Structure 1
Amino acid sequence: MVSNAARPRRHDAATADERIIWPAAFGQRFLVTVDVEEEFDWTAPLDRRHRSTKAMRAFGPAHRRFAEAGVGLNCMVDYPVAVDPVAVGILSECLGDGRSEIGAQLHSWVTPPYQEVVDPFTSHAGNLPIALEAAKLDMLTDAIDASFGIRPRIFRSGRYGLGPSSLSLLASRGYRIDSSMRALHDYHAVGGMNFSAIDAHGFRREGMVELPLTSVYTGLLRRRGAGLYRRAGRWPHGRGVLARAGLLSRIPLTPEGVDIRDALAGIDQALADGVRLLTFSFHSPTLEPGHTPYVRDARDRARFDRWWDAVFDRLAKHGVAATTIDEVLAAAG
């Protein structure tokens, strides 16, 4: 059994030596990543029995919309999806666009071996004993290889659960890129990791290229971002008050819970901050109404599509082009 006695990890800010110096020819680019996973009730305790992947039937049509816009999807596939032949067939067709990529996402609670009690702490794979984290990573990687004939190069730890040994485990297994850090976010209150010191710029650490999920602070007090945002969280509705007053907002680049006006402001700010590679994300069950809090009905689903249309239009106006994992690795050196 695994206890929850260990202390969650705080990830240190990148040093100057760790920063990736992107070549001028790379310009400013963007990636879209998708957490491709089973459906479950986001408001209920995690349960290993929840392994359905029926929402994958919405993935093919959604992918076609992205492909028509010239945007590949970096599919972070977890274990229940990797062992479902129907889901594998849908994703394999998506690879025909020549820009999409199959990566890996470790949902520890539905990935064997099952040696831990499922709770909020152990759901962050980086909190597990290193041998158990490694065994689950191997099971996931081998399942993807068996289903797709591909050794994944890019990884995400489910629930952003990147622990003290995770990057070295990934590097030793041939992974090249990690995207488990959500810039400016702190999950220690739910047993997870603290990324409040991580900004949106790519860097190298322990043999891996780290591409944090892009988040930025906007507003008149953005220079005081991390400290003020943390303190505001202690006041009733403090963060909402600051956001409505135009003083401070934290904006992650995702259509899930972020309205289009904020997303466009976040894009503008990230580019003004000199972020060379913007990393967007969403979850595959969001593509079918009723599985996540973000898309409950057809109206929400239409709003999801309009969000991406507006984002792609804003990126094009800035001259920011979609990129691929091959291009990112070549540019990172």
Structure 2
Amino acid sequence: MSKPVFIITIDTEGDNLWKNNDQILTENVRYLPRFQQLCEKYGFKPTWLTNYEMAVDPAYIEFASDVISRGQGEIGMHLHAWNNPPLHDLTGDDWRHKPYLIEYPDAILRDKVRNITGLLEDTFQVKMRSHRAGRWAFNGLYAQTLIELGYQVDCSVTPRVDWRNAPGSPQGNGGSNYKNFPVHAYFIDENDISRVGHSSLLEVPMTIQYKHSPLVNLLMQGVDRLRGKQRSPSVNWLRPKRGNLEQMKSVVEKTLQQGADYVEFMLHSSEFMPGGSPTFRDKAEIDRLYDDLEQLFAWLGERTQGVTLAEYYQGFVKGTTLNSGHQ
């Protein structure tokens, strides 16, 4: 590819799952066309990583089917274990604790992945190629299951981030620790997903940069140890927050300067809806989000070309991306 690529990933799920513990609504479907139109304006193709509640919503099915029919995006899979069939009561209140899929028994993990994969493929009549784990929790068994089902791309890894302090099951050990994972795309070793291997599953890690220099990070971690705390170094994502346009541009610039052949953006579908997330709480904040997105996409349009996750995989395999293994 002549330019680095811009990969847009959207965790496509119910409304404000940070807060809603007793029901899952899907009103945010009504707000997705605006973002799709913005992507198309700049020649970008979002990958809509789709959760169970969205996969059974008639309005979402209509929206996603249109995207597929026009070749303007991709539908992938996203899985939140607590409401994805077959249901299995792990904690006594899974909707409140939101346990990680990797905390469930192995057979249940496999059944849940198979179920949502079959549902999506039957609904949209396309093969599922791309995936992101719910709450970023991934392991070898999960990877092996995706491989068995013919997935080509995973994008669950968040390099430089340790999720072990984010609880799932009260009896569990928290989420996945990605602090020392590769920052570039790599075919994973399914027995050790932190290592480059020879499986058929391509890992495309999120675009994340340290907020501070290595020296500052080292000093801050030393202070934390003296205080008896253990925290990951602060990071910046290619992910909108309120008023972080320049920060996102800096993440892109730093990533491309380090030799990357892609940058990967993410957001949740509910963040396009007023009140659908803790981040963008009303119409004014949504409008400011779109102001930032308009500027970011115009800026990226001069520097990158848009592809879906599956298209990136195809280019990587053919050697048309700069897949030289930059760290």
After TM superposition, the score normalised by the length of structure 2 is 0.82
RMSD: 2.5
Question: Match for residue 300 of structure 1?
Answer: 285
Question: Match for residue 300 of structure 2?
Answer: 315
**Does 2:257 match 1:272?**
yes
SS of the residue 2:165 aligns to: helix
Question: Match for residue 88 of structure 1?
Answer: 61
Question: Match for residue 53 of structure 1?
Answer: 26
From 204, 208, 211, give the equivalent of 1:215.
208
Structure 1: state its 5+ residue gaps.
1-24, 239-247
The answer as to whether partners of 2:8 and 2:266 remain within 8 angstroms in 1 is: yes
From 175, 182, 199, give the equivalent of 2:151.
175
Q: How many residues are aligned here?
A: 294
Question: Match for residue 198 of structure 1?
Answer: 181
Question: Match for residue 194 of structure 2?
Answer: none
The answer as to whether partners of 2:153 and 2:203 remain within 8 angstroms in 1 is: yes
The answer as to whether partners of 1:251 and 1:258 remain within 8 angstroms in 2 is: no
The answer as to whether partners of 1:217 and 1:225 remain within 8 angstroms in 2 is: no
Question: Match for residue 193 of structure 2?
Answer: none
CA drift at 1:168: 0.9
Q: Tell me the alpha carbon deviations over residues 35-73 of structure 1, each in whole angstroms, 9 at most, x when there is no partner.
A: 0001145146xx4x4221111011112211211111111
Q: Give the distance between the partners of 1:214 and 1:285, measured in 2 at CA.
A: 21
1:164 to 1:329, Cα distance in 2 relative to 1, 3 A? closer
Question: Match for residue 52 of structure 2?
Answer: 79
Q: Give the distance between the partners of 1:50 and 1:77, measured in 2 at CA.
A: 18
Q: Give the distance between the partners of 1:213 and 1:256, measured in 2 at CA.
A: 16
Identity %: 23
SS of the residue 2:82 aligns to: helix
Question: Match for residue 171 of structure 2?
Answer: none
The answer as to whether partners of 1:51 and 1:110 remain within 8 angstroms in 2 is: no
The answer as to whether partners of 1:218 and 1:266 remain within 8 angstroms in 2 is: no
SS of the residue 1:91 aligns to: helix
Q: Give the distance between the partners of 1:121 and 1:231, measured in 2 at CA.
A: 32
Structure 2: state its 5+ residue gaps.
167-173, 191-198, 318-327
Q: Tell me the alpha carbon deviations over residues 100-148 of structure 1, each in whole angstroms, 9 at most, x when there is no partner.
A: 0000001101101121221787621122222111000011101101211
Question: Match for residue 312 of structure 2?
Answer: 328
CA drift at 1:218: 4.4
Question: Match for residue 11 of structure 1?
Answer: none
1:224 to 1:166, Cα distance in 2 relative to 1, 3 A? farther
Question: Match for residue 324 of structure 2?
Answer: none
CA drift at 1:94: 2.1
The answer as to whether partners of 2:274 and 2:280 remain within 8 angstroms in 1 is: yes
SS of the residue 1:113 aligns to: coil
SS of the residue 1:109 aligns to: coil
From 25, 28, 33, give the equivalent of 2:4.
28
SS of the residue 1:189 aligns to: coil
Following TM superposition, the consecutive aligned residue runs of length 4 or more in structure 1 with deviations greater than 4 angstroms are 119-122, 224-236
1:112 to 1:266, Cα distance in 2 relative to 1, 3 A? same
Q: Give the distance between the partners of 2:51 and 2:312, measured in 1 at CA.
A: 23
From 240, 244, 249, give the equivalent of 1:259.
244
Question: Match for residue 105 of structure 1?
Answer: 78
Q: Give the distance between the partners of 2:111 and 2:243, measured in 1 at CA.
A: 36
Q: Output aligned runs, 1:130-141, within 5 Å.
A: 130-141=106-117
Q: Give the distance between the partners of 1:258 and 1:283, measured in 2 at CA.
A: 17
Q: Give the distance between the partners of 1:164 and 1:258, measured in 2 at CA.
A: 37
Q: Give the distance between the partners of 1:122 and 1:164, measured in 2 at CA.
A: 21
The answer as to whether partners of 1:252 and 1:258 remain within 8 angstroms in 2 is: no
CA drift at 1:251: 0.9
1:301 to 1:204, Cα distance in 2 relative to 1, 3 A? same
Quick check: 70-79 or 80-89, which moved more?
A: 80-89
Question: Match for residue 5 of structure 1?
Answer: none
The answer as to whether partners of 2:10 and 2:48 remain within 8 angstroms in 1 is: yes
Q: Give the distance between the partners of 1:294 and 1:122, measured in 2 at CA.
A: 20
Q: Give the distance between the partners of 2:78 and 2:142, measured in 1 at CA.
A: 12
The answer as to whether partners of 1:105 and 1:157 remain within 8 angstroms in 2 is: yes
**Does 2:135 match 1:159?**
yes
The answer as to whether partners of 1:82 and 1:88 remain within 8 angstroms in 2 is: yes
The answer as to whether partners of 2:207 and 2:237 remain within 8 angstroms in 1 is: yes
